[in-house]
C-alpha cells in the first residue's frame, strides 16, 4: 500500500543524505561463534536459511535426507543426478503444483467462512460479495470512488495476524479510492464521516491469487476502517 512506497522513499532520502555527509569509519565487531566453532555457526546459519526458504514454498512432500545429500554433492562439486537443464523445470513444476493446491485450500476455506459469516445478524453482504459490519455509524455525506479519503485502518488475515495498520504508525492514510483494492472501492463509499466499519473482503475483491508476501494467495482480508474525512474532486 501507500506506506510501503513512502517507506522506500524515506530510505532513499536517508541514503542520499548519508552520502552527502562526511563518511565515518565504523569498527566492525567480530561475531562470536554461537556453536563450537565459527565454521559450525556459519554452516548451521546457511542450513537454517535454506530450510526456511524451502518451508515457505509450502511443498509438503520432502525427502529430507536427499536434500542434505544434494547440498553436500553441490558443495563438493559432484555431478548432479538430474541434468542441470532439467533441475529448473522440476523446481518450477513442484512450486506451481504446491501453489495451486494451496490456492484451492484457501478458496474452500473462504467459501465456508463467508457462508457462515453471512448468518450473523450484524453482517451485511453487498451484491459483489463484500461483507461488513457497522461498528460506529457516521453522519452526513458519503464519498464516491473518485474522492480522496482520509482513514485509519487495521488489516488482518483470517487467523488474526495483522499485516498492516495506520494506527500503529499513528498516521492516517490519505488516498484516492480509485487507487485501492476493489473491496475498499465498494466498502468505503458506504460510510459517512466518523463511521467505523469492519469489512470482510473475499480474495476476488482483494489481491486474488497474487502472493503479497505477508498476504498469501487467495486470502480473506479483514479491515477495520474509520472514515475521518474525504475531499471531493481531489487531483
Which segments of the chain does DSSP mark as H helices, in order? 2-20, 38-56, 64-75, 84-117, 166-169, 182-187
Catalytic residues: 153, 163-164, 181, 207, 223
Residues 77 and 69: beta-carbon distance below 8 Å = no
Separation of alpha carbons 58 and 8, rounded Å: 29
Nearest to 72 by CA among 95, 48, 43: 43
Separation of alpha carbons 51 and 197, rounded Å: 41
Grouping H, G, I as helix, E, B as strand and the rest as coil, residue 155 is strand
Separation of alpha carbons 229 and 235, rounded Å: 16
Amino acid at each position: 500500500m501507500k506506506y510501503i512506497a513512502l517507506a522506500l522513499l524515506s530510505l532513499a532520502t536517508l541514503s542520499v543524505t548519508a552520502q552527502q555527509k562526511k563518511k565515518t569509519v565504523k569498527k566492525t565487531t567480530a561475531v562470536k561463534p554461537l556453536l563450537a566453532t565459527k565454521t559450525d555457526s556459519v554452516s548451521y546459519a546457511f542450513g537454517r536459511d535454506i530450510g526456511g526458504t524451502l518451508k515457505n514454498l509450502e511443498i509438503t512432500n520432502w525427502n529430507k535426507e536427499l536434500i542434505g545429500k544434494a547440498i553436500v554433492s553441490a558443495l563438493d562439486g559432484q555431478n548432479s543426478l538430474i541434468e542441470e537443464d532439467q533441475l529448473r523445470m522440476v523446481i518450477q513444476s513442484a512450486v506451481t503444483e504446491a501453489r495451486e493446491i494451496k490456492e484451492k485450500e484457501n478458496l474452500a476455506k473462504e467459501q465456508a467462512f463467508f457462508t457462515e459469516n453471512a448468518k450473523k445478524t450484524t453482517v451485511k453482504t453487498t451484491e459483489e460479495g463484500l461483507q461488513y459490519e457497522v461498528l460506529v455509524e457516521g453522519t452526513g455525506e458519503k464519498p464516491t470512488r473518485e474522492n480522496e479519503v482520509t482513514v485509519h485502518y487495521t488489516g488482518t488475515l483470517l487467523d488474526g495476524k495483522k499485516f498492516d495498520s495506520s494506527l500503529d504508525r499513528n498516521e492516517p492514510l490519505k488516498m484516492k479510492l480509485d487507487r485501492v483494492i476493489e473491496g475498499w472501492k465498494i466498502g468505503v463509499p458506504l460510510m459517512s464521516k466518523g463511521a467505523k466499519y469492519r469489512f470482510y473482503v473475499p480474495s476476488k475483491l482483494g489481491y486474488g491469487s497474487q502472493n503479497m508476501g505477508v498476504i498469501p494467495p487467495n486470502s480473506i482480508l479483514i479491515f477495520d476502517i474509520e472514515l475521518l474525512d474525504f475531499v471531493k474532486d481531489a487531483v
